Structure 1
Amino acid sequence: MIKQIFTLLFCASLFVSCKNDPKKEADNIDESASKTYDQNDGLITLKGDFIYDKNQNAAVIQTANSTIYGVVVDDNMKALNDKVKAFKKEDTDMVPVTVRVRRFESNEENTWKYRVEIKETIKVEAPNPEQNDVIKIEN
């Protein structure tokens, strides 16, 4: 009887000690993601559709609630544009991105109310093939 109890306890402790804990792994992933998304550095995380028009040297990000931000054209924006090119079929395709930006009010007339300066690219996604939002730019 004692031998059976000892064997049962031994097997239970062996099972518990060898078990991988996916919750701890998920916590580590969430923790690293939240460090990227929620740093207290004055930047905001922005998710939206990105497009850059090389001819006019202008870029915008449109969020899900239809807010449009003018994007500062700099090295970070050009690096994002290089990543986005892989997902474009046409130059006018908008590509979903998640970026960390510095947002500020535009003091130029005839531009977007807010502009953003890209500081970090978090994610670039393939556009939804069923979404048919095509913008054609003509001269």
Structure 2
Amino acid sequence: MKILKIYMQNTTMKKLFFISLIAVAFLSCKNETKSTEATGSQVSAEGPERTAKQSDGLTLLKGDFVYYDGAAVLQTHANIYGVFVTDKMHELEKLVQEYKTAPTDMIPVEIRGKITDQKDDKILWEHKVEIVEILNVYEPKKEDNDVVKLSE
């Protein structure tokens, strides 16, 4: 009988221990979520912490630019954008001429622009961009020149 009492006490203690352990773990997770929200460590894209450049609706794009035969294209690591032919696009074309060795060379650039997916009669690419600001034009790296020329 004495052994049964000790066993019952131990199983009751084990149950209480596991229940309290689960309760502490659950409450700790709940407090962690509250503390993250209370400190405000998550910055919203629409919050007041945004700078003026982040609030102007423009997107920063880095990629390879080419303008040939009346059509302009910007190829980023994720997408290919048809570029609207505007004064800024012509300004960018003048800047990239310095680095071109052939008319179809793609030159690395960094721009800010307005992205749209609206239908256009001239630009048939799904994604389109209007260049608003030219940030940088980079000299192409020799090892990135992977164009195969079939004839001279």
- Once the two structures are superposed, residues 91-132 of structure 1 have per-residue CA deviations (whole angstroms, 9 ceiling, x without a partner) of 111000000000001313781111000000000000111112
Aligned counterpart, 2:115: 103
- Once the two structures are superposed, residues 3-22 of structure 1 have per-residue CA deviations (whole angstroms, 9 ceiling, x without a partner) of xxxxxxxxxxxxxxxxxxxx
Give the number of the structure whose alpha-carbon radius of gyration is greater: 2
Aligned counterpart, 1:124: 137
State the TM-score, normalizing by the size of structure 2.
0.59
Aligned counterpart, 1:39: 54
Aligned counterpart, 2:103: 91
Structure 1 runs (4+) deviating above 2 angstroms are: 132-136
- Distance in 1 between the 2:87 and 2:130 partners? 10
State the TM-score, normalizing by the size of structure 1.
0.65
TM-align CA RMSD: 2.4
Q: Which ranges in structure 1 are unaligned for 5 or more consecutive residues?
A: 1-33
SS in 2 for 1:77: helix
The amino acid that maps onto 2:92 is L
Aligned residues: 100
Q: Which ranges in structure 2 are unaligned for 5 or more consecutive residues?
A: 1-49
- Distance in 1 between the 2:148 and 2:94 partners? 20
**Identical counterparts, % of pairs:** 43
Contact 1:93 / 1:135 at 8 angstroms: preserved in 2? no
Aligned counterpart, 1:27: none
Q: Tell me by how many angstroms 1:134 deviates.
A: 2.5
